Structure 1
């Protein structure tokens, strides 16, 4: 089974959110860098056509809710 372009973007967004959270905890993020800016810088150019603020918000909400359920 091959992943669709949208599935690849969702995985990339999730990975970027995880990396952002780790860097935030470590204090290694540049000052005033938002999670949205970080995601936009880490998503491959070839995948940006599938990227939208709504998709980022959906993935972020899913991760946040899943984390709360697992805690």
Structure 2
């Protein structure tokens, strides 16, 4: 089974959120850079067409919800 570009984009967003969180804790990202800006700047060009604020928000909400349950 091959992943669709949308599924790959979702994986990349999830990874970027995790990376943003880690880099923020390590103070490697400016305080004024939002997670959305970070994702938009670091998303590979081939997947930007699938990128949307709604998708980022949905994934961020999902991760936030399940992070609390898994901790």
User: When the two structures are superposed, what TM-score results if normalisation uses the length of structure 2?
Assistant: 0.95
> How many pairs does the alignment contain?
71
State the partner residue of 2:68. 68
Residue 31 of structure 1 and its aligned partner are, at CA, apart by 3.5
**Stretches of structure 2 lacking an aligned partner (at least 5 in a row):** none
- Counterparts of 1:51 and 1:37 in 2: how far apart (Å)? 12
State the partner residue of 1:2. 2
Structure 1 consecutive aligned stretches of length 4 or more whose deviation exceeds 2 Å? none
**Stretches of structure 1 lacking an aligned partner (at least 5 in a row):** none
1:1-71 correspondence to structure 2 within 5 Å: 1-71=1-71
Q: Deviations over 1:15-64 (max 9, x none)?
A: 10001000011011023111000000111111111111000000000000
Two-structure CA RMSD over aligned residues (Å): 0.7
- Counterparts of 1:36 and 1:26 in 2: how far apart (Å)? 18
